[in-house]
Amino acid sequence: MIPAIFVFTYLAIVLYIGIFAFRRSAHREEAEDYFLAGRSLGPYVFLFSLFGTNMTAFAILGSSGHAFNNGIVTFGLMASSSALIIPLSLFFIGTRVWALGKKYGFITPVQMFRDRWECSHIGTVIFVVQAAFLIPYIIIGVMGGGTALSAISGGRVPFWFGGALVAMVVMSYVFFGGMRGTAWVNTFQTVLFLCFGAIALVVIGIGMGGFRQSAEALLASPGTAPLLTRERVSPLFFFSYTFIPLSSIAFPHITIFCLTARKMNQFKKTVILYPFCMLALWMPCVFLGVMANRMTDVPQIQQKLEARRALAVEGPSLTPDERDTLREKMIADDVLLLLLERYAPIWLAGLLGAGIMAAVMASDSQILALSTMFTEDVFAFYGGKRRFGEAAQVHTGRLFIILITIVAYAVALRAPQNIFDLAVQYAFSGYAALSPLLVAALFWKRSTKWGALASTVWAALSVGAVALFQYLVPAPAPGPPVVMWSIAGVEVLSRTPGGTAVFGLMPVVPMTIISAVLLVVVSFFTSKPSTATVERYFAGSPGKRSVL
């Protein structure tokens, strides 16, 4: 119960930060102040908050779980590729979004698209698709809170209560503090879970008597030696994964966050230090996840290892349902908690439990982003602000936050988690497929609203098609994929144990490339925005004041 007390204290601190932020802006009922913290964030709050916003529960719990089953490849797949692509997207896209937001007062990406491409309902379609991809995150956040609190308290806090408590705390500081409260809480959380990684590594390393012996033992066993290499994934799969971080800048909560910086210089530290933050958080989590394979005397870990072995050996002769049952047993998101339980003193386990909660509670930015998008792109755009005033707009945003939280909690209590895990997995690919919209809006004068619509509809349909395909065709046993369609001996579409492959690549690659091609082709065949609009964005005409 002691770890749970630490976690409750942590939740109280987080709540206080949100209310403190509310006091700072208590007399301002302006949308820009509530939704963007008045575009006033300083360099370190901007860096840590942006990093914390990008790191969901997956960063700590999921990364070590993935590494437990797949080995060191997890770091190259998800961390080092993100360490390159995310700072680059902030450098090239984030800075331009910031400049346009500052110049023209945009609060959401859809506002920018509507202005840039002179469209209205197409902007609404983009809003709907973005919102549909974002909702599973919020539900997963509530579920993660309930599960983590239940695990940390040793089952004394039931899932329904843990989920409700976390949802209430997140809702409260987002409700009161808006973007300012969310950014401060995220900064606090990021510092906490960055420290968590280093402390966990040292404590577990000491507990295990150093890692040298464990690494050698893993290498000596044929079952675990591949975990210290990358032979469990194909180079094409590894290459495909570099497309996933393109989703980061296309996530509305990240695009919106780019608008909160006080000056463009605030991006500098973030661009440079982001890779170091990735290293500091992911390296310990991935390494410890791999090392957990040595802890065969922990019953829960032994069960996971047995399930993995059974799937590898007996997989082909099992039914799809039996394979799914084994896969569920293999889920290893709790290995870090199990390692801490084994090696950390109880007070430290509590402190580290708070660090885990910090990572799990990453749904705040998504809730705020969804509320911002609804109030700006729907309520204000369709006349609500003009009719009822700016204060009513902020009140609507706050009301929407309560509504989203209640709905997310109700769904989280009833629906099985794996459905939303899958939805989140698809959402990454979906947002990556939406990234050409930002590139076209900012770098290509000739792009049109119809091109943007084609790209958006494609992103939505392709995500749906992959989800349907994986639902209809059960995952095969570990080993070669099930080829569903081939042309002249070339595998076009396959069902793999982990998902889907198109020409041996993850679906995100063709989804993103086709999205970009559609945007270009359709734009060429449709009329471009007026010269006046294009000139407000792009330099070229003497005497015209453009931004880009």
Partner 1 sequence: MKRALLLIVVGALYVLHQDFWFWRAARPLVFGFIPIGLFYHACYTVVTAIVMWLLVKHAWPSHLEERVGDEATPRGGDRPVAVSPTLPVAAERGGEQ
Q: Which is nearer to partner 1, 468 or 548 (CB)?
A: 548
CB of 247 to partner 1, least distance (A): 17
Minimum distance of partner 1 from residue 155's CB (angstroms): 34
**Residue 442 Cβ vs partner 1, minimum distance, rounded to whole Å:** 11
Secondary structure (3-state) at 501 = strand
**Which lies closer to partner 1 via its Cβ, residue 357 or residue 378?**
378
Min dist CB 72 to partner 1, Å, is 4
Strand (E) or helix (H) holding 324:
helix 320-330
Cα dihedral sign, 128-130-132-135 = negative
| Lookup: tokens for 223 | 């079952």
Q: Which two tokens mark 431?
A: 């947002």
3-state helix, strand, coil in the chain (%, to 5): 75, 5, 20
Minimal distance in Å, beta carbon 44 to partner 1?
16
- Rg of the chain over Cα atoms, rounded to whole angstroms, equals 23
User: Is 64 or 172 the residue whose CB approaches partner 1 more closely?
Assistant: 64
**H and E: helices and strands count for the chain:** 27, 3
Q: Quick check: 64 and 78 in contact, CB under 8 A?
A: no
Q: How far is the CB of 294 from partner 1 (least distance, A)?
A: 12
CB of 263 vs partner 1, minimal distance in Å: 7
Query: 256-271 as b/e, with b when 16 or more CB fall inside 10 Å?
Result: bbbbbbbeeebbeebb
Cα(124)–Cα(114) distance, rounded to whole angstroms?
9
**Residue 228 CB, nearest distance to partner 1 (Å)?**
4
Q: Which of 72/463 has CB closer to partner 1?
A: 72
For partner 1, the closer CB: 16 or 382: 382
Tell me whether residue 167 or residue 179 sits nearer to partner 1 (CB atom): 179
Give the closest residue to 315 by CA, choosing from 496, 186, 493, 506: 496
| Nearer to partner 1 among residue 323 and residue 385 (C-beta) | 385
On whether the CB atoms of residues 343 and 294 are closer than 8 A, the answer is: no
Which residue lies nearer to partner 1 by CB, 148 or 259?
259
- Residue in 41, 37, 23 with CA at minimum distance from that of residue 176: 23
Which two three-digit tokens encode residue 424? 């989140």
